Structure 1
Amino acid sequence: MNSAQERDTNGPKPDCCQQPNHCDQWEKSFSLSDSYSQHQRIYTGEKPYHCDQCNLTKHLHIHTGEKPYHCDQCGKTFTWSGSLRIHLRIHTGQKPYLCDQCGKTFTDLSNLTRHLRIHTGEKPYLCDQCGNSFRLSTQLKRHQRIHTGEKPYHCDQCGKTFTWSGSLRIHLRIHTGQKPYLCDQCGKTFTDLSNLTRHLRIHTGQKPYLCDQCGKTFTDLSNLTRHLRIHTGEKPTTATNVGTVSASQLN
């Protein structure tokens, strides 16, 4: 059997083309099985031929850094036409992807997919060092720096390095003197939200950290950690785990 005959017999024919080499829809017969197979693609949508040169050209953009697709609204450029199409929705406000759980809409399918994990609880990105899992690949990447010790964020003022971009941002306020967090009780300002939160406990009297040995409470975790040494007898120079909240865990 030749290749043309093989293509003619592979797969079911469309309803209009059940007779050998004859299309009832077009009322047309074909003398060659190969011609008939090509005709069938009108109905199946099959497109078996692709241009290697076009695909190669698109792929080479990765290596050359070329970004030929240009947004005429803001000037941003993109490697792929699809990326530009999604970007344009920022300007148009179009959000065609709807979450059927909460009604929130998104500019592209990937953002919707990531959002849906909030509802499903899915955390597909697993840390192979400690077993923690994460909703987003970026969350896993940030987490892995705990294990690797990587500190890619660098202060150009004093040279100090940080694991997280947020930590660097807060640190830079030491140099700029910026204190954007204001206590509405006394007017004192702070470089970051966590310091303001701890400070507010002075006004509210809240002491959320409890010693499980004697019942004493504290405004912040570091004070509880220091207090627990009374029960354990541990010297400050040997206390390394600032996250400890019970005397038994300090032993």
Structure 2
Amino acid sequence: MSSTETDQRGPRSQRSQEADKPHRRKGEKKYSCDECGKGYPVKAYLKRHQVIHTGEKPFSCDLCGKSFSWKGSLKTHQLIHSEVKAYSCDQCGRAFTHSSNLRSHLATHSGIKAYSCDQCGRAFTHSSSLRSHLVTHSGIKAYSCDICGKNFSQSGSRNTHLRIHTGHDVYCCDQCGKHFATDAALQRHMFTHTEERPYKCDRCEKTFKTPRYLRRHQLYYCYCSINLVLL
């Protein structure tokens, strides 16, 4: 066999071996999670995902102690403490720490409430708000106050309530001395001391002092809404 033939066969043999090797298709997810079956193209992505199942949160904030599963989430959280709000709404001027919060806020200006409750008809701008609202219909109150034992369906409501016990940012009515956890709650309460009824039913024109009374009226007492149901 001549050296020329050997040299020629060599490259052909190498090409043949390369052709026999399995080629990974673009987007192929060869690493899958044993817990949920979700696949990833890179092993590092799989390891990052598996933290969800272990519940491990090794990255904690030095300022408030809140812990996170990923370093990126911690960095995003720390912007809250920096007080830097680089994303502002060009319609109302309200500023936000994250661009995602600004996008979520902009939906409130559109007036579109695409997510409605199939139990009471109340509509929401965001799906997350609807999910939080649905808990109120379940009757489940999984969050309780450690001080007075009062139960709440949402953790945010419980945390707001705790301000009454801690005295932090408590709003007091200067007419009757009643305390409230939020300024909005105080403002609603103030209408009870006046004859003002700013909340009007768009079905029968009846007015109310609080949005709670208006919603109750529309659900159970409004003659127009009853007719709509019957029709």
Shorter-normalised TM range:
0.5 to 0.7
Which of these two proteins has the greater Rg computed from alpha carbons?
1
Gaps of 5+ in 2: 1-14, 16-25, 30-39, 181-185, 199-205, 227-231
Indicate if the aligned counterparts of 1:97 and 1:108 stay in contact, CA closer than 8 A: yes
Q: What percent identity do the matched residue pairs reach? A: 35
Task: Give the aligned residue type for 1:59.
Answer: H
Aligned ranges 1:1-251 → 2 under 5 Å: 52-72=42-62, 75-155=65-145, 161-163=151-153, 166=157, 181-183=172-174, 188-192=176-180, 193=186, 196-201=189-194, 206=195, 208=197, 243=217
Gaps of 5+ in 1: 1-31, 33-45, 210-216, 225-240
Supply the distance in 2 between the matched residues of 1:73 and 1:173 (Cα, whole angstroms). Answer: 23
Distance 1:126 1:72, change over 3 A: same
C-alpha deviations, 1:128-156, integer Å up to 9, x for none? Answer: 43443212334212321343223333355
1: CA distance, partners of 2:171 / 2:90: 38
Question: Alpha carbons of 1:200 and 1:71: their partners in 2 closer, same or farther (altered >3 Å)?
Answer: same
TM-score normalised to structure 2 length: 0.52
When the two chains are superposed, the root-mean-square deviation of aligned CA atoms in Å is 4.8
| 1:212 matched residue in structure 2 | none
- How many residues are aligned here? 175
Give the deviation of 1:120 after TM superposition.
1.5
Q: CA deviation at 1:242?
A: 6.1
TM-superposed deviation, 1:99: 2.9
Separation in 2 of the partners of 1:147 and 1:105?
Answer: 33
TM-score, with structure 1 as normaliser: 0.49
Distance in 2, Cα, partners of 1:120 & 1:60 = 38
- Output one character per residue of 1:157-181: Cα deviation in whole Å (capped at 9) or x when no partner: 675544455489659969x9xx952
